[in-house]
Structure 1
Amino acid sequence: MVGSFPMPSRRRFATHEHPWHQLAWAAEGVLLVETGEGLWVLPPIRALWIPAGVPHATAAHGSAVMRSPYLRPGTCPLDWSAPTVVAVPPLLRELIVHLAAPGLAEDARARAEAVLCDLVEPVDAVAVTVPLPSDGRGRRVAEALLDDPADPRTLEAWGREAGASGRTLARIFTAETGMSFGSWRTQARLRAALALLAEGVPVTAVAHRVGYGTPSAFVAVFRRSFGVSPARYFSL
């Protein structure tokens, strides 16, 4: 079975799970899939293998079309226990389109699903973790920065808006996200950067849109986090 879901900008499927394995793929646009491991950013050249029973939420960055094969665990030889990013070369893309065709005979579907399981190959990708504080003051700051990761305000400046001192906000972020405020903001910027890069936005423009003064500063942070340059991340 293949589900096709047109997803307008900001459309989100809240956290849920399936009794089948799912391959979440954007036939158009960019998907954001969140699991317990973090957030995965998926242009059409990538998909996320989601094992049966794993809770996940799915959203669109901009407009997207999600096309997802669902496979019965008993008939699929893949036994990956955790969400896994896979490459989507042209052959796999066409196979998904073939499986989505109406009226496909059961024996033809079974053969195509077996080939799909043979074709999926993992790629080296890291989920971005951007947990939200539960304290309302910290959450207000976090949500504002997710909306505008380039906002340069310090914790002291944010405190005047959120009704808490900078020191209090710092304690909230450390206690409730497991990160310092600076580390959390870096993750928020990287999350926004991945979505822009997946859309094909040039690296220099991405750097400025997520809050870095120079492209070299952005590239250095990105490389430390992901092991490759921004320009190469979605080409691997």
Structure 2
Amino acid sequence: MQPVTHTRPHLPGRAPSAAQPVRIVARDLDKAALLAAHSHAWGQVTYAIDGVVRVTVGSSTWIVPPQRAIWIPPQAVHEVATLEPARLRALYIDARSSPFAGGRCEVLEVSPLLRELVVALVQADGEQGREMLLARLILDELPRLTTRPIRVALPQDKRLKSLCEALIADPALALTLAQWAGRVGASERTLARLFERELGMRFGQWRQQVRLAHAAPLIARGMPLSLVAAELGYASQSAFSAMFRKTFGKSPSAFFAAPT
């Protein structure tokens, strides 16, 4: 399902400052809600306590389950869509207090401490002294978090983008590139060339990335690996696990284990 519900991208009066370097916006969103593409002068950590969101920045998209968050640098144009009902908690961070150098997004493994700090910051809304103390702890914790990037590159070509969006929506689709060619109005050879030119990989490699990205929320919900494999179009659990281990050097259960 494509996101259909549009809501205000960011809320007025919540901008961070030198005096309040970290502000929080808490929103409970239905499935298929969309925070349309926008940017702002501050950085943002997008995190859902519950639910799964899809974050798109430029030519990349990430599927973010509750164990993960994503840092979006200042001025970056980004879009957030919910794949299921989500309790979204966005940390707005003053650009002068940015916890990460450079202008790229960072995928973060959410620690138990960060989760509790986020909850506490929501509860402390309006208590400026307590907010400042929590902000210091958050800014200290963020750069300590390990990153687990499962990035999915997005193309510019409209024909290829149509194919990619369809597979992101339903990663178990087993159509060949030749079959996709008939659907999107381009030859198989043209699509193969576009994958290499725009995404730097073959069709099969890109589809594998999409399936890996979708595995995160399924495993996070406790779905057995055998069902995850079937949901994502793999012939067996062992085939899925072997591919995963080859890509990341560890099993799916170890990769997605909650931090302790």
Q: TM-score range by the shorter chain?
A: 0.7 to 0.9
CA distance in 1, matches of 2:117, 2:193: 50
> What is the CA–CA distance in structure 2 between the aligned matches of 1:197 and 1:144, rounded to whole Å?
22
Q: Distance in 1 between matches of 2:214 and 2:110?
A: 22
2:165 is aligned with 1:124: no
Distance of 1:33 and 1:48 partners within structure 2: 8
Partner of 1:40: 62
Residues 217-236 of structure 1 mapped to structure 2, 5 A cutoff: 217-235=239-257, 236=259
Q: How does 1:197-212 map to 2 (within 5 A)?
A: 197-212=219-234
Amino acid at match of 1:52: P
Deviation at 1:152, TM superposition (A): 1.9
Q: How many angstroms apart in 2 are the aligned matches of 1:187 and 1:133? A: 18
Which residue is 2:78 aligned to?
56
Instruction: State the alpha-carbon separation in 1 of the partners of residues 177 and 125 from structure 2.
Output: 58
Alpha-carbon displacement from aligned partner over 1:96-133 (angstroms, at most 9, x marks no partner) = 22222365322221122112212232213123223135
Contact 1:38 1:127 in 2 (8 A): no
Q: Which amino acid aligns with 2:152?
A: T
* Alpha carbons of structure 1 residues 31 and 227: separation in structure 2 relative to 1, 3 Å: farther
- Could you say what secondary structure the match of 2:32 adopts? coil
Percent identity, please.
Answer: 35
Contact 2:154/2:161 (8 A) holds in 1: no
In structure 1, the residue matched to 2:6 is: none
Query: What aligned pairs does 1:21-36 form with structure 2 within 5 A after superposition?
Result: 21-36=43-58
**TM-score (structure 1 length as normaliser):** 0.85
**What CA distance in whole angstroms lies between the structure 2 residues aligned with 1:78 and 1:46?**
16
Q: Distance in 2 between matches of 1:85 and 1:28?
A: 17
The equivalent of 2:167 in structure 1 is: 145
1:107 to 2:134 alignment: no
Aligned residues: 234
- Structure 1 residue 77 displacement after superposition: 6.7
8 Å CA contact 2:58–2:77 kept in 1: the answer is yes
Label 1:7 to 1:72 Cα distance change in 2 as closer, same or farther (>3 A). Answer: same
5+ unaligned residues in a row in structure 1: which ranges? none
In the superposition, the TM-score normalised over structure 2's length comes to: 0.78
Change (3 A) 1:198 1:57: farther
User: Does the residue aligned with 2:180 lie in a helix, a strand or coil?
Assistant: helix
Residues 32 and 59 of structure 1 are in contact (CA less than 8 Å); yes or no, is this contact kept in structure 2? yes
| Aligned counterpart, 2:105 | 83
Q: Displacement, 1:20?
A: 1.9
Residue type of the partner of 1:134? D
The DSSP-based 3-state class of the residue aligned with 1:58 is strand
Distance 1:145 1:228 in 2: 25
Q: Which amino acid aligns with 1:38?
A: S
- The alignment yields a C-alpha RMSD, in angstroms, of 2.5
Pair 1:214–1:80, CA change in 2 (3 A): same
